[in-house]
Amino acid sequence: MFRRFLQRFFSKDLNIPQKLLDNIRELENFLRYSFTDKHLLLQALKHRSYVAGSGESRKESNERLEFLGDSVLNFIVGKHFYEQYSEKQEGELTKMRSVLVSGGNLSDTAREIGLGRFILIGEFEERSGGRDKDSILEDCMEALIGAVYLDGGIERTSKLIERIILVKAVEKFGSKKYSNYKSELLELVQSYGFSPPTYETVNTEGPEHEKTFTVNVLINGNIIAEGIANSKKKAEQEASAKALDLISNDENILKMIKVSEE
């Protein structure tokens, strides 16, 4: 019942131009999933730069579907690992899930299915290579998952995720490329008995389509490292990676944290 409510909330009774319909059908062939409500798929493909250029409201972009898809993806991947790896503890399962739901893995998966050429983006993003930007691909991948969930339910979404994401899980677990530095930092910090790290966005620069975020990671109120990237998620990961390196190689960092805790 709740899914049906969400479906009505996202769906729009609008005509879809033939060219877009052709693109949608081609993408559906890649996904091996046919949408009952084509408008959901269309919305999942709309980057905010496209919506701004077309004069539509920002809520017509894929951002809300991205939010929903992120939650659905975490649930399905977590449930799969819980059922398939009964011998593993919570910490190990969390690490495994973080690899598959990481931005790096999602953007690479989007490239594998050719998602970039179907995304609807603004003219400037088009010229600046937006179709292959990690952040845009990651967000669209999550939005696509959210759209499939609203259109077909949890079982069909699970099948899609199994086919395009979980199928390569084992080979990706050992890859440093998909490391979740935030999770690793949290585990390390808690092993010393400290409170979990916090993240603070201290600066945002650039136009809407090409923002740069500066994020600090703090432990017990101490700024440990800074990350700069084109999304908050990436900036947090970069700051976490730097913090891990500092804590592992500089004893003075640990001493500073301990003193502040006291």
Give the integer Cα–Cα distance in Å for 4 and 116. Answer: 29
Strand partners, 54: none
Query: Under a CB-based contact definition with an 8 Å cutoff, are residues 194 and 249 in contact?
Result: no
Using the 8-state DSSP alphabet, how is residue 167 labeled? Answer: G
Q: List, by residue number, the catalytic residues.
A: 70, 142
Give the integer Cα–Cα distance in Å for 118 and 122. Answer: 13
CA distances from 73 to 97, 220, 229 (A): 10, 31, 24
* Nearest one of 13, 150, 4 to 68, comparing CA atoms: 150
